[in-house]
Structure 1
Amino acid sequence: MYIHKKQRVVTPTNWPVFGTTPTLLVNAHRLHEYTTSVLLQSRGTFMFKGLLFANMDMLFTTDPLDIYHILSKNFSNYPKGDKFRRIFDALGDGILNSDDGEEAILLRHVTPPFLWKLQHIHRVGNEKKLSDAWKSLDHFIYKFMAQKQKEYDRVSHEAERFIFFTAIMRELKDYSGTSLDLTKFLRDTLVNLAAAGKDSVTSALSWFF
């Protein structure tokens, strides 16, 4: 590792076998600040090299043109794939696949798959934390859904007032009798909306004030 004299930023060294993982672990307690510093020094794009043979390399970028290319212009060329789905399995099959278990999900990215899967099987470490958070989240979501279902059954479907949850239920009624699990789909959608909205709303309020 070396220290940039002007910016005083530690740039991670790509070690044989271990990649840049050692530096990442050393700075795990200040991950956001460290990642920001590295991206600033690397002009917005940095390749994280994981453990050899672990298939954990990740590209970090804050370049607006790169982000536009990936998330908008050529979005169909960058499918998330089965590996992404396995890592974010707590979020289910909702419209998005992004602390209710977020810390444990983040650590899955920098932990060899065989290790976090072993923790998941035996329910230890961060995987136990994720499993417990998952159960608490499901308990809350399904209780909320049951309450809203009763309200939906009581009120007139012709009511002019727009309620997001009941609007989704009206749209999904045409799928009854199909292979789609409506209850699970609603659960996954609500969880993903909550996960996506939490950071964006708090960021918007912070910038506003």
Structure 2
Amino acid sequence: MFLHINDMYNFLTRALSRAGGTFHHKGMWMGGAYGIVTADPSNIEYMLKTNFKNFPKGKYFRERFQDLLGDGIFNADDELWREQRQAVKAEMHSSRFIEHSLQTMQDLVHQKLLKLTDNLVRSGESFDLQEVLLRFTFDNICSAAFGVDPGCLALDIPDVPFAKAFEKATELILIRFLIPPFIWKPMKFFGIGYEKTLKGAVGVVHEFAEKTVKGRRDEIRKHGSLCHLSDLLSRLVEIEHTERGKKLLFPDKYFRDLCINFILAGRDTTSVALAWFFWLVYSNPQVENRILCEITDILSLRGTQAENEVIFTKEELNKMVYLQAALSESLRLYPSVP
């Protein structure tokens, strides 16, 4: 894996194909990394659903991600994991958060994403669609989690310090899984090599998150309410304040870790899935035609001439059965998504 670090996905895909979908993995000598790599849907279901409690992340995993993810849901086990999942699930399924997410998505698509892609196309130069979608999902997930727009979709395609640091931190921290602890731990202790860069990137991410959390804390202490905000962080702080009064149950670190983990969950996953979907649509013109026909049929029911920039209602989106089926099928065909 170390020798194929710049071609990891293709390397793992070839290995999984040769092994029939599952193979035993043993890492570098004295590294302590061993286990099973699988792309078998039945195995994935068994681990993540049927017998989930028997597959904790464990010390090996948590130790390597601790600096970035802290005790967030991606790095938690047992009661801590259940506690966070319950809190996040309750808010994410609320009608208020769903409405906020829909509005945030629509605003980003129509006010930024479409304008940026149109500007890139007009320039006549080629561009990386996945990179654009990555910027889109980063802005979207930050707005949903923090209530903050980092501005990655600006027309000049800026380097946003927080976004750049987040990407650098997630890339560098994975190196800890490829080299033994007796190498990366001394590097961390003495602050040398990639561990020094990692520490700097994590510092930028944490500073941004802590500043945002502190801002919400200060605002609710000053005004007594965050009812005008619907992002995940604000709703959780509001609930805590309402139920506990001025006695704050969780430290700022709890909310910082939760939101950083939430961003990690929604950033790469959605952007890569969208890039894969558009590639499949491009490769299957008949599917594209059926999607366009379905959209045209739904627009024809409006009874009025559709404007150039169409914003679909929830009811109209629910009628796009073929589009939903195409999205579901693209995820089934995606080699890295169970």
User: TM-score normalized by structure 1?
Assistant: 0.77
Q: Distance in 2 between matches of 1:150 and 1:92?
A: 23
The answer to whether the 8 A contact 2:229-2:235 is kept is no
For 2:267, which of 178, 198, 203 is the aligned residue?
198
Shift of 1:208: 4.5
Shift of 1:152: 3.7
Structure 2: segments with no counterpart, 5+ residues: 76-166, 279-338
Match for 1:69: what amino acid?
Y
Match in the other structure for 2:53: 76
Instruction: Choose 156-165 or 123-132, whichever is displaced more.
Output: 156-165
Match for 2:49: what amino acid?
S
The answer to whether the 8 A contact 1:92-1:188 is kept is yes
Structure scoring higher RCO (CA < 8 A, sep ≥ 6) equals: 2
Match for 2:9: what amino acid?
H
Match in the other structure for 1:30: 7
The answer to whether residue 174 in structure 2 is matched with residue 106 in structure 1 is yes
For 2:38, which of 61, 66, 78 is the aligned residue?
61
Shift of 1:163: 3.3
Shift of 1:156: 6.3
The answer to whether residue 234 in structure 2 is matched with residue 166 in structure 1 is yes
The answer to whether the 8 A contact 2:30-2:180 is kept is no
Q: How does 1:1-209 map to 2 (within 5 A)?
A: 24-89=1-66, 90-97=68-75, 99-153=167-221, 157=225, 159=227, 162-173=230-241, 174=243, 181-209=250-278
Identity of aligned residues (%): 31
The answer to whether the 8 A contact 1:91-1:188 is kept is yes
Whose radius of gyration is greater, 1 or 2? 2
The answer to whether the 8 A contact 1:87-1:105 is kept is yes
Shift of 1:181: 4.5
Q: Distance in 2 between matches of 1:161 and 1:119?
A: 42
The answer to whether the 8 A contact 1:108-1:116 is kept is yes
SS, match of residue 96 in structure 1: helix
More helix by share: 2
Q: Distance in 2 between matches of 1:189 and 1:25?
A: 31
Structure 1: segments with no counterpart, 5+ residues: 1-23
Q: Distance in 2 between matches of 1:159 and 1:68?
A: 38
Q: Distance in 2 between matches of 1:148 and 1:132?
A: 25
